[in-house]
A and B are shown apart, each in its own frame.
Chain A
Amino acid sequence: MLALLQNQYDFQDADTIYEVLRAWLNTEPVEGLRFTATSSNAMMLVTALIFIFLLELLLTIGIQVWERRVLGRVQSRRGPQVVGNIGPQSVRRVVLPISILLLIPALLYGLQYWFGIKLPGSMLSDLVALCTFVAFIIYVIYCFGYYWRQGLADALKIFSKEDVVPLNADRFLFTVAPILVYLPALLSWVVIPFGMAIVAGHACYYMVQDLNVGLLLIIADFALFLVAIIMSGYASNNKYALVGAMREAAMLLTYEVPMLMSLLCVALFAGSLNLTEIVQRQTMTWGILPLLPAFAIYLVISLAETNRPPFDLPEAQNELLGGYLVEYSGLRFALFYIAEYSNVFIVSAIMTVCFFGGWKGPMFLGPEGLWLTSLFWFLLKTYALIYFFIWARATMPRIRMDQIMFFSWKFLLPASVVCLGITALGVVYRHPWFNANRIGNYQAETESYQYLILPTHEVLEIITAPERAFFWGYSVVTVIFTAFILWLAWRVLFTKRKHPLPRREVTWS
């Protein structure tokens, strides 16, 4: 069982789809179509941009519609698209066929894996290929029917709006600011590993570029976001916009530092800033186990960095009428809007990559279905986190600006520093979780460290006593804390507490 979960698909020489595409283009796919180096680079660039742009657009509009539906559900009303491919009919038309289509090969594969009942020849792999393909088509059609009407209507409406630039506004900056807000959001999609596939016997990731400093790119992306916000607030020639932009800038700045700290914990854990390597390191234990406090901190920070409620004071409609966005309309506003949802997806993706094992999970369709199962797990985890964002929006009032600042400087920053300290201790003390079960064992013969990937119980045997003490101490604290969180959740969700609980001295008289 563990073997299945361990996901033996850890290829060290995996490529990205981008590279596979380039390699394929260089093999002269069409007769006479030969690329030079520059033209193939240009072709790749255009392809990549189109790919990211379309993917981002689809997924962010999907988030938007989903958010509105969820908000409607919380608010006891229906959201948009009451008629269409959402609701009970989708279960009949989409979920059931896809589940059946995927269940059959999954069962057969499970039979083969555990009980050794093999199908003759390559029937299983063909079946898996067929089923996954058809399931994918159904899913695409469903998604296409899910939100394309609403999304298309929104897009058409936005495109057809009048281009309004306020009087005495800095025209150049006014135009550039939304682009500068959108660009980092777009570019961050380059490094996110959506999944893995085996193409022609060769493993490759769903990524555009497997940067060695992928995590750093994401952090830099948020810094660029900050500059663009200030630019947009200044360029509007509106004192409310400027005040909103200043608030926004202050908030983003203060939340950069704890974010950096918590992501540094992840880097310590994985030993690299490369996102695919971070995912690979989570074979034995997911990042959440050692890095729970870092995850908690990063979760809150991601709400703040993307201006999601409860941290949306700078851009809220009620407060100063929208803050730095107040003068933007039409396509410029759409760029801000898409950038915000894109950022939401990116931070959720980063959270799944760093803490939840990325695209890892039981690959129930075998190597032939790897492309679907890895994508499925990745999107499942990402959307679960996005649901948390939507949930936070539905339920929480806004935090005031000075309280936001207080929270960051006085709580999150010390907490993240402490967290970094604990992670560093864990790494040094060879805690198996902190090292992604990759324990260095000093070999006296060769006077070098040999890194072995061992399960936890084996690690316990080879580490020294103080390290073992740290292990047990950390584990006990984690278990108690997790139990406390679960108890709190149970109490909030499932118990009906009597009110009023007079917190103040409001007395009857």
Chain B
Amino acid sequence: MLSPELTQLAREAGGDAILLDARRGRALVAEYSELITVLKNLRNAGFTRVIDFSGMHLGKNKHGLEEFQLYLTLRAPDHGHGGLTLKWKYPAPPVKTPEPATGTTPQPEDDGPVAPEVDPALAALGVSAHAIGAPQSGDGNGTPDTITEPEPEEVEQIDPAMVAPHPTLSRIWPAAGFCEREIWEMLGIPFSGNDNLKPLLLDEQFPGYPLRRDFESPQRGDFAAGLLQERSEAAVMRSLDYPVPEKTQATERNNNGEAGGGSA
């Protein structure tokens, strides 16, 4: 159970973007672009121990991108080592540029868990905030989809090559670097800024990403049949499916955000 001081601490560090779960101190990060800032604030607030950093494959999202959920567990030694777990999705939901003429507040695509506000109607039904992120079927009241399913909206398909790599956490917590290696080799998420992004457990020539849901284990005979290709050295050092682009909007924003102090 997260102590009140720790709750306050985390809230101050993360701002409105962090919602604390009463039971275990799990939180959601709404703005992916603010992730590094939030984490740095957390680290400076006292959460200097990274306990675990892992990931899960959720599937293909409606933009045609492979979507992952990342979990980060921290502890703060100065505050009794209370635990805090954060989770966020990668890749970040694409942020629409605000249209200054209309004056409406820019809403990011509700691709993942977004604003922490709970609709009072839903709250009356007992839907808690952290369940919002999960895709709702029907209206959350048990009514099946076929009756009240909304029309499929036009969602733009994003080219995977345009997705920014995840910024590395190893500058903030050195121990996270090894976790990133494992996430990279198991799920294929590239981390930019991690110099040591080599496979941790598998050998360099292992094809595929084992913890993805559509992973099929290489069978005996695949190598002889020529189905297992050797990865090129360049591909080994970077992700195969997400070639790291030179500059994207997200990396620009991150770099500007890190202007104060690039390394931990």
- Touch between chains A and B, by CB atoms below 8 Å: no
